[in-house]
Structure 1
């Protein structure tokens, strides 16, 4: 998913001079000091600071992703944003998501520069994550320079920043499949204890599914449990019916 920008690379911009622009729930634009707002404003409830353009010829246009984390639709502006949004939606450390809800503004020489990170996630510890998506050829010089400033601003506020490159295609394909079962309607419900029992020891997914009952009814529950982290499987290898699945909690305790 890419790595965080290192502190040593951060540009020499005083975080106290950085402002943040955002739109309040009523859609009104506001600009306030970043370090103050980062502690008090619920940015994940703000709409995008500016709309996502539709560019003719692009394979993926702006759209909406139903987030199982937020329980609502979250807008995205491109295919790479959708992929990173999907991966964040499955991250257990993430409790809320938004696309481009803030723009950081800072003085640079004789002008002001603004940058709106593409994604924002609220984490379990109350801090935030700002994320930009770099293309296959890597970030442009302009994005790299602005990323260093945003990384320094995030660190100063107790947040983090990530400039994410293209993720592993096998991981993306596997998570995309599981995402099709992310809605709570696919949860195992009353027979969750049986699901946990049958996977108490690592075993082939298809064997356990056939043991539980009608595969048509069981597979969706297994996929939902894999999406939500109740069950665990290797996602860096192609997902198939004989993949070895186990209870995630048990593996964590054994480690």
Structure 2
């Protein structure tokens, strides 16, 4: 079986619904940190083995093109005699909105050169299977800090009800500052501004509203309806 070719039919496998192919273990003094990220995309926890992997999950969760996420999705055993490598378990598999798949390896920038051969072999395998391939090495500032703050509002407890969403969209109009939107929507809804702010930022994380992540976020930041906003009939389900 080690020398069996990769089949194009692999691209149709629903890997985003699978369990990790191996377990994570921790021990005293271990250098990396593992845990679980609650994903608003999947509505469940996704495991990670390092804080850098957690950062990737945060970014994938925010990406509106991503519909499914699986950790440690499959194992590859390279053909016998392959020099220097025996096997590889990619870090994540993503199912994208257009139905395609993407395999992701997460490596610190300092380790990219050492893993270049492994990455090249995995990329070739993914191309044969019909998947995209990505090597993730981090998020630049201020995008990282902005996304980390915004991701705190991804949880369901911050989601507005279906009747509240249209009022918030009306308050935002074609674009307004976050503080202006909060004040306007709070008056219209007769709710505490802190509650409205949480609703507003939840809608920004799930892609119904847009805020720029390339400049430091504040209450003065501009917020507007997403250019790819879902139809009104779908907003309640999305939130």
The residue number in structure 1 matching 2:97 is: 124
Taking a change above 3 Å as real, the CA distance of residues 56 and 34 of structure 1, as seen in their structure-2 partners, is farther
Q: C-alpha distance in 2, partners of 1:179/1:110?
A: 42
> Match of 2:105, SS?
strand
1:224 aligns with 2:202: yes
Map 1:126-165 to 2 at 5 A.
126-141=99-114, 143-165=115-137
Counterpart in the other structure of 1:100: 72
SS in 2 for 1:218: helix
- The one of 163, 173, 186 equivalent to 1:200 is 173
* TM-score, length basis structure 1: 0.79
* Cα gap change, 1:176 to 1:59, in 2 (>3 Å): farther
Residues 13-32 of structure 1 mapped to structure 2, 5 A cutoff: none
Q: Which residue of 2 aligns with 1:5?
A: none
One of 60, 70, 78 as aligned partner of 2:50? 78
Return the structure number with greater strand share: 1
Q: How far apart are the structure 2 equivalents of 1:250 and 1:94?
A: 14
Q: For 2:90, what is the secondary structure of its paired residue? A: coil
Specify every segment of 5 or more residues in structure 1 that has no aligned partner in the other structure, as ranges: 1-15, 20-32
Deviation at 1:250, TM superposition (A): 7.6
Cα shift at 1:118: 0.9
CA positional deviation for 1:60: 5.4
* Cα distance in 2, alignment partners of residues 248 and 242 from structure 1: 18
Mapping 1:227-238, distance limit 5 Å: 227-238=205-216
Q: Do the aligned partners of residues 153 and 110 (structure 1) sit closer, same or farther apart at CA in structure 2, a change above 3 Å counting?
A: closer
How far residue 58 of structure 1 moved from its aligned partner, in angstroms, is 4.9
Corresponding residue SS for 1:137? helix
In the alignment, structure 2 segments of 5+ residues that lack a partner are 187-191, 230-239
Superposition CA RMSD, Å: 2.4
Cα deviation for residue 138 of structure 1 reads 4.2
By how many angstroms is 1:154 displaced? 0.9
The TM-score with structure 2 as length reference comes to 0.84
Change in 2 beyond 3 A, CA 1:216/1:59: farther
CA shift, 1:150, in A, is 0.9
**Equivalent residues of 1:47, 1:101 under 8 A apart:** yes
CA distance in 1, matches of 2:54, 2:120: 23
Once the two structures are TM-superposed, the CA of residue 81 in structure 1 deviates from its matched residue by 0.6
Partners of 2:2 and 2:80 within 8 A in 1: no
In structure 1, the residue matched to 2:223 is: 245
CA change 1:205–1:110 in 2 (3 A) is closer
Q: CA deviation at 1:126?
A: 2.3
Name the stretch that deviates more: 175-184 or 219-228.
175-184
Match of 2:237 in 1: none
User: Could you tell me which residue of structure 1 aligns to residue 193 of structure 2?
Assistant: 215
Say whether 1:41 aligns with 2:13: yes
Q: Which of 48, 63, 70 is the aligned partner of 1:91?
A: 63
